[in-house]
Chains A and B, each alone.
Chain A
Amino acid sequence: MTGQVAAFGAEGARGSLAGPSDYLALLKPRVMSLVVFTALAAMIVAPGALHPVLAITALICIAVGAGAAGALNQWYDADIDAIMTRTRTRPVASGKIGRQEALEFGATLAAFSVFAMAFLVGYVPAILLAATIAFYVFVYTMWLKRSTVQNIVIGGAAGALPPVIGWAAVSGAAFDPLPWLLFLIIFLWTPPHFWALALAGSEDYARAKVPMLPVVKGSRTTRNQIVVYTILLAASAVTPYALGFTGLIYAATAAIGSAAFLALSVALWLAPVDRERVAALRVFAFSIFYLFALFTALAAEKLIGLAPAEPTVTKAEQVVKQRLPGAPPASNW
């Protein structure tokens, strides 16, 4: 442990044994894949047309921006990453890449991704990308993670923003309702996803003194909260269909997926202590599949032509118009 702390404090790439794969690991590629996928789905359903080259450019900027945030997270959290079993092989925690190097690498890529987005794609997605990186690094990593049990709840906003960025890259609009519904879905998905992981490895978080819910409030409260958030998630997942933004394929995926997610959460809630870890890992694994399924359905429906024709003219707008004469069109929300 002491050796690891000393190792990640060591600076200088010149004599380093870090290869390109270590720098790729610094970008947290698994997190990046989920970020890119949700942004891509939003880009597919967004109204308007973006040249494929510009769409790929936007996705690269989002991927690099997310990776930069991951690198800056590893720079700041090297001390606790080195303590936790799950994270101690990360490049900075294991000493392969120096902290200073990770900071410079992350900050350079963050600036690069935002400026490239601004000049090659548009200012609105660039501002959103900058806000996402800043929120993840300054608000979640530096402030919330070590100070409050609500760390991943509030911090989840950073991971929920990529669909809004993707949507803005295509449409140029930052305040359409559908991308913010997608934001809400990922925002409510984050607590059961991370708390299930934290339940399975709560000793890890306790050793690192990270105030995750199972460490601070215990297993029972965490299981209760997972069920509550899964119910809220299920409600938010069917909302895009209820408001007329999506079709039946998405609705069926959301309904079946949410029912399965809720069943696994209830199974975790009911599980005896000796089965808790297995039940928690099931919830964690399914949560990843669930989010991919939801966004795949959303995108597939649009690609095969089964999505509602005008995603921004919706039942929601009609309801508002009926109730509030003179209300602006949904696209101006």
Chain B
Amino acid sequence: MTPEEKKKLNQRNWALAGVLLAFVVLVFVVTLVKLGANVANRPL
């Protein structure tokens, strides 16, 4: 693999990591929104 190809591969990997992280955050926030006030009211 040439240095340019390695650089592009790194860029793709970081972009993919960013997208996956964004998706995890999105699912987490949507879960909070859907649970709403029930998060605070759940039995401990």
Contacts and interface: CB of A to CB of B under 8 A. Distances in A.
Contact of A19 (B12, B26, B27, B30): B12
Contacts of A20: 11-12, 15
Interface in A233-279: none
Contacts, number: 36
Interface residues on B, range: 10 to 19
Given A19-B11, A20-B15, A23-B15, A54 B4 contact: no
A57 B8 contact: no
A54 B15 CA distance: 24
Interface in B1-44: 1-2, 4-5, 8-9, 11-12, 15, 26-27, 29-30, 33
B1 A57 contact: no
Contacts of B30: 53-54, 57, 120
26 contacts: A13-B9, A13-B12, A14-B1, A14-B9, A15-B2, A15-B5, A16-B5, A16-B9, A17-B4, A17-B5, A17-B8, A18-B12, A19-B8, A19-B11, A19-B12, A20-B12, A20-B15, A51-B33, A53-B30, A53-B33, A54-B30, A54-B33, A57-B26, A57-B30, A120-B27, A120-B30
